[in-house]
């Protein structure tokens, strides 16, 4: 009889044990493990708990009891739009509706693309819920609710709800777009921005010189990001170019603008540029000069951020692309740049937040932006000499914080979705 060549399968013994099931840690157990795990952690928890409780109490007392919010209520329109013509206030609302519609369409289209990619990779895509939106945008929600609480009529609340409804409708439209139309999300964003600006200035609208408040801060930030980002990428690629002239010009540009303070460049643009222009050429408006300087300044910093991402790409990937017969431009566009930009998202968003905060420098040049409003309204006859900067400046700081922190949260969310820092 021929013995079997198959190996015998051993019988399981009593020593074979299954690993215990993983269970979620409750709040009490989490606090015991993280806050009271030792006497030193316990002391730190108690001390900082008392400190934060005292700070929270003082902040709540300031907001509810101490602060005289009447100056904010009576100047809320100034904080939002500055010297904007009061007979044309419908224009910012229509522009906000256009941007909400555009943003909704873009978000819906991108969400549909992300869901399809997740389905192809057998991944579960989290459902979009109201609680998810609140958790995602709670700083902006608190800011909007606080601002609406300062209004004297119900119309701002109704118009805000209408703009929100338009944005949600735009998201539904974006999810229903065919695949070919979903590839043009960048075009929708550009067209929406152009239409919103035209609503504000065209057909007897209000020119840039009449803008102010947080409106001008957000506008300069958005335009600065849209224009400085592509210019910064070109400068980063130019600095790594094999052509000496292109590399030298890029290096000289970057080092010059990174070595001069932004305020000095803004002052030069406001008071010196017109002396170099011939009399037959009209000088650009003050806001246009400031925009040009901000774009040139920010593009230099963005170029260095992108260059850091380009240096993180291994030489082996470029050689592999060359072995496949890809051209240098195709290699850069399809292999190098996507990975480089993915790696520098935290630094890039940090620079965008810095740009938004730098728009407060427009106050020095005479623009009636948000910080200027916070300083100037205390000089009104009804409020002069009452020390109300302690109310207006925290209000300004709160708006800056809410927008900046929301940008930071969106950056972290994008990092999580792209798996940055996860191997």
Other Cβ atoms less than 10 A from the Cβ of 155: the count is 10
With residue 281 as reference, give the H or E element that holds it: none
| Cα four-point dihedral sign 198, 204, 205, 209 | positive
Beta bridge partners of 213: 369
Whole-angstrom Cα distance, residue 70 to residue 61? Answer: 16
State the Cα–Cα distance between residues 207 and 288, nearest whole angstrom.
Answer: 11
Q: What is the pLDDT along the chain (423 residues), one digit of tens a residue?
A: 444 444 444 554 444 444 455 456 678 888 888 888 888 989 999 999 999 999 999 999 988 888 889 999 999 999 999 989 999 999 999 999 999 999 999 888 888 877 777 676 666 666 767 777 888 889 999 999 999 999 988 999 999 999 999 999 999 998 888 888 888 888 888 899 899 999 998 888 888 888 889 999 999 999 999 899 999 999 999 998 888 899 999 999 999 999 999 999 999 888 877 777 777 777 778 888 899 999 999 999 999 999 988 888 888 888 888 888 888 888 888 888 888 888 888 889 999 999 999 999 998 888 889 999 999 999 988 888 888 899 999 999 999 999 999 999 888 887 777 666 555
Q: What is the C-alpha to C-alpha distance for residues 37 and 32, in angstroms, rounded to an integer?
A: 6
Indicate the pTM of the whole model: 0.85
Sequence-distant (≥ 6) Cβ neighbours of residue 162 within 8 angstroms: 97
User: Which DSSP state fits 335?
Assistant: I
Phi, psi of 202 (to 5 degrees): -85, 160
CA-nearest of 395, 406, 386 to 146 is: 395
As given in the structure block, the two tokens for residue 229 are: 């980002």
- Cα(135)–Cα(141) distance, integer angstroms: 10
DSSP state of 209: G
C-beta of residue 97 within 8 angstroms of C-beta of residue 163: yes
Packing angle, helices 213-239 and 244-258, rounded to 10: 150
Contact predicate 82/359, CB 8 Å: no
Closest by Cα among 326, 82, 410, 350 to 218? 82
Domain regions of the chain by residue span: 67-84+206-423, 85-205
Q: Which region holds residue 213: left if phi is over 0, alpha if psi is between -120 and 50, else beta? A: left
For residue 369, the SS3 value is: strand
How far apart (Å, rounded) are the C-alpha atoms in residues 417 and 256?
36
Contact 71, 377 (CB under 8 A): yes
Tell me which DSSP letter residue 384 carries.
T
Query: For residue 160, how far is the Cα from the chain centroid?
Result: 21
Q: d(Cα 141, Cα 155) in Å, to the nearest integer? A: 18
> Cα separation of 365 and 293, whole Å?
13
Q: Considering the domain 67-84+206-423, what is its CATH architecture? A: Orthogonal Bundle (1.10)
pLDDT at 303: 93
Give pLDDT, residue 420.
62
Q: Which residues pair with 369 in a beta bridge?
A: 213
- In angstroms, the CA 262 to CA 326 distance is 41
Q: What sign does the dihedral 323-329-334-338 (CA atoms) show?
A: positive
């Amino acid at each position: 009889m021929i013995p079997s060549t198959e190996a015998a399968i051993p019988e399981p013994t009593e020593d074979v044990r299954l690993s215990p099931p993983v269970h979620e840690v409750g709040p009490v157990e989490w606090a015991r493990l993280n806050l009271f795990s030792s006497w030193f952690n316990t002391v730190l928890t108690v001390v900082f708990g008392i400190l934060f409780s005292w700070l929270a109490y003082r902040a709540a007392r300031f907001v509810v009891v101490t602060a005289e919010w009447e100056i904010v209520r009576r100047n809320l329109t100034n904080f939002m739009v500055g010297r904007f013509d009061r007979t044309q206030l419908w224009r910012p609302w229509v522009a906000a509706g256009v941007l909400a519609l555009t943003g909704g369409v873009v978000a819906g289209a991108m969400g549909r693309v992300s869901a399809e990619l997740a389905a192809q990779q057998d991944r579960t895509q989290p459902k979009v819920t109201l609680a998810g939106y609140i958790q995602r945008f709670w700083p902006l929600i608190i800011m909007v609710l606080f601002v609406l609480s300062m209004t004297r009529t119900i119309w701002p609340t109704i118009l805000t709800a209408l703009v929100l409804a338009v944005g949600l409708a735009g998201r539904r439209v974006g999810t229903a777009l065919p695949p070919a139309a979903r590839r043009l999300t960048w075009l929708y964003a550009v067209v929406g921005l152009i239409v919103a600006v035209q609503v504000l200035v065209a057909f007897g609208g209000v020119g840039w010189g009449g803008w102010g408040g947080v409106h001008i801060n957000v506008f300069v930030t958005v335009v600065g990001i849209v224009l400085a980002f592509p210019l910064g990428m070109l400068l980063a690629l130019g600095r790594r170019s094999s052509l000496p002239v292109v590399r030298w010009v890029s290096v000289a540009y970057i080092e010059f603008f990174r070595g001069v303070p932004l305020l000095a460049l803004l002052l030069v643009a406001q008071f010196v540029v017109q002396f170099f222009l011939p009399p037959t050429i009209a000088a650009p408006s003050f806001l246009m000069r400031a925009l040009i300087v901000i774009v040139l300044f920010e593009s230099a910093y963005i170029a260095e951020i992108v260059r850091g991402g380009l240096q993180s790409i291994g030489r082996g990937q470029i050689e592999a692309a060359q072995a496949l017969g890809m051209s240098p431009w195709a290699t850069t566009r399809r292999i190098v740049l996507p990975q480089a930009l993915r790696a520098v998202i935290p630094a890039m968003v940090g620079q965008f937040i810095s740009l938004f905060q730098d728009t407060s420098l427009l106050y020095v040049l005479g623009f009636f932006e948000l910080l200027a409003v916070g300083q100037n309204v205390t000089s009104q006859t009804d409020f002069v000499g009452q020390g109300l900067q302690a109310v207006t400046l925290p209000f300004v700081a709160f708006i800056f914080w809410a927008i900046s922190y929301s940008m930071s949260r969106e950056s972290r969310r994008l990092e999580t979705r792209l798996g940055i820092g996860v191997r």
